[in-house]
Structure 1
């Protein structure tokens, strides 16, 4: 029987990876998605490591349940650790059987030949938003996302307190400009970053309805799931949410409250591929489509895991691709078989998740870990703004 020989945490740049190795030489890689608390997640991995050494890596569901139920405590740092381990174990399973992970997740084969994608458009200026939309169109994308009608300033900078009417009217005007440059050949995925209260969310949603956004992402804070259900009943456009959820029960509560039309499942933050597949099945029963969350804070390891997940589910909608996913340090650190061509993700057929860390990067000073500092959006009246 194959056994786990070691479980390692690897900090690189602003990322935390978990590498699992077996006694027959197979190796799996996973990434932690709770990027604000990577040090805490690494501590959880070390606790889980003691249990995993010597175990059969193919007992993925059993190990997930054992580790999740081994203590009384839950939380983002814990499921982030579980997610990185889970993805690494699925990577090993794919390599052991010589197949891409999507073949093991259910159904025996992928549900589509390629994945429609949207790329990030992010800037504090409307002019840069317009330029980036035009650039995405030239690359063949039929959707753009991370479009923030409020043009958030960088975190840590002071943001002005604006009158309600001005805030809402300016945001609506920005969406009008997005649509004008995109035309009807591109979908607009609006990203609100949890910054609104109920009244403003309703006003903005009704104001942008005529521009037919694909979805309205995270208009409210995620802490009270009831409020998203109430909002969904008041507005004429589709809500996408869930990227900050940390359990399948969070999604179940959202679905029964009719709080979303798109489930933003964050594979690396929800606990890995094992719970992600369960969430997608629940969503399908409710007629809800899945948009795997793949933020710019993560690397191509996350993208590869999302692609395997997306390929295995019928109710997939669109895949988020950060603008720098294959560039700079990320490309230097990660070898990936995932390719984006003319606005679509090509699904790799290589065994496992189709991505790995490049040789030698773990010991190279160029990729030394950079600790993230706590930064919140501060308004010019001295208060903290929603983010």
Structure 2
């Protein structure tokens, strides 16, 4: 299907990924085995995961991090040292204060958690290459596991340049669509942590190809998974099978989907618990999701939910600078 048409990109690859994941699920359920057995068998008995932490203030973010420690997690992610501020508020700080303030926030978080969790720092593409290097130099003593997407991923040369110059490991890949893009990225500079969006980069088939490319250059895989429990179920099958897994992203499925939570304006958000979407939502125990032996993806869609939430147009809210230009985050 990918090769039959002229166009490529996120919408097309997202649709193809959904079909690929569904076909693996059907194959597993038809044969009575979990998908990871069809991928060559499990490389592990459980999958280490990181939970999302958020906060519009430093105090809230630190509280979320320490709560994750108490819940048994050994890593936290979606961790923005720039804080999760209201996107309708323009950015007004000087560049120096912008970087220093975020670096100070990360130092405070590292001090509060005292090494009890690995810090997966999410920069959401908001920095220039020069700013990314400056920020990394200021937080290297916090010993974060990685800095994710410090710059926009469109220019592979720019990302590779940051990876080569940064003293903190870099994670990227969640916005790339094909194995060829990952190969070109790693050929420029082997990225320490490869973020594969299983629901964007060709489904389970594409993810396994990309993981093999990463494995060849010594890069560890961190499946990108901010979506529904169906995404989690698919990512888990990949995470169980690949030999070069670092850990996996696990959102709070008690909350509304991340797209609605972070980018939709308030009156357009659909208040739904993601756990209502499927039967058998995967859950973490002391920071690990145990391997399931259920066939296919190990979950079943609740078809009744779709009828309760018909499609709606969602106005997208994004942050602007004082001069009116768009901020990438």
Normalised by the shorter chain, which TM-score bucket? over 0.9
Residue equivalent to 1:134: 66
The aligned counterpart of 1:149 is 81
TM-score, scaled to structure 2: 0.92
Q: Which residue of 1 aligns with 2:44?
A: 112
Matched with 2:244 is 315
Give the superposed CA RMSD. 1.4
Matches within 5 A, 1:1-387: 67-106=1-40, 109-155=41-87, 157-258=88-189, 260-295=191-226, 298-324=227-253, 328-364=272-308, 367-387=309-329
Deviation, 1:371, is 2.7
**Shift of the alpha carbon at 1:129?**
0.4
1:200 to 1:259, Cα distance in 2 relative to 1, 3 A: farther
Change (3 A) 1:354 1:211: same
Aligned length: 314
Kindly name which structure, 1 or 2, has the bigger radius of gyration based on alpha carbons: 1
- Structure 1 segments, 4+ long, off by >6 Å, are none
Following the alignment from structure 1 to structure 2, what is the Cα–Cα distance between the partners of residues 359 and 343?
A: 30
1:336 shift after superposition: 2.1
C-alpha change, 1:337 and 1:151, in structure 2 (3 Å) is closer
The answer to whether the 8 A contact 1:158-1:380 is kept is no
Distance in 2 (CA, whole Å) between partners of 1:315 and 1:325 is: 29
Give the match's secondary structure for 1:371.
Answer: coil
Counterparts in 2 of 1:326 and 1:133: CA distance versus 1, 3 Å: same
Partner of 1:20: none
Task: Measure the CA separation in 2 of the matches of 1:371 and 1:310.
Answer: 33
For 1:152 and 1:326, how far apart are their aligned partners in 2?
16
Deviations 1:8-40 (A, max 9, x none): xxxxxxxxxxxxxxxxxxxxxxxxxxxxxxxxx
Q: Structure 1: which 5+ runs fail to align?
A: 1-66
Residue 185 of structure 1: SS of its match in structure 2? coil
**SS in structure 2 opposite 1:378?**
coil
Q: Give unpaired runs (5+ residues) of structure 2.
A: 257-271
Distance in 2 between residues matched to 1:277 and 1:351, nearest whole Å: 19
Structure ranking higher in strand proportion: 1
How far apart are the structure 2 equivalents of 1:176 and 1:324?
A: 29
Contact 1:161 1:381 in 2 (8 A): no
SS of equivalent residue, structure 1 residue 351:
coil
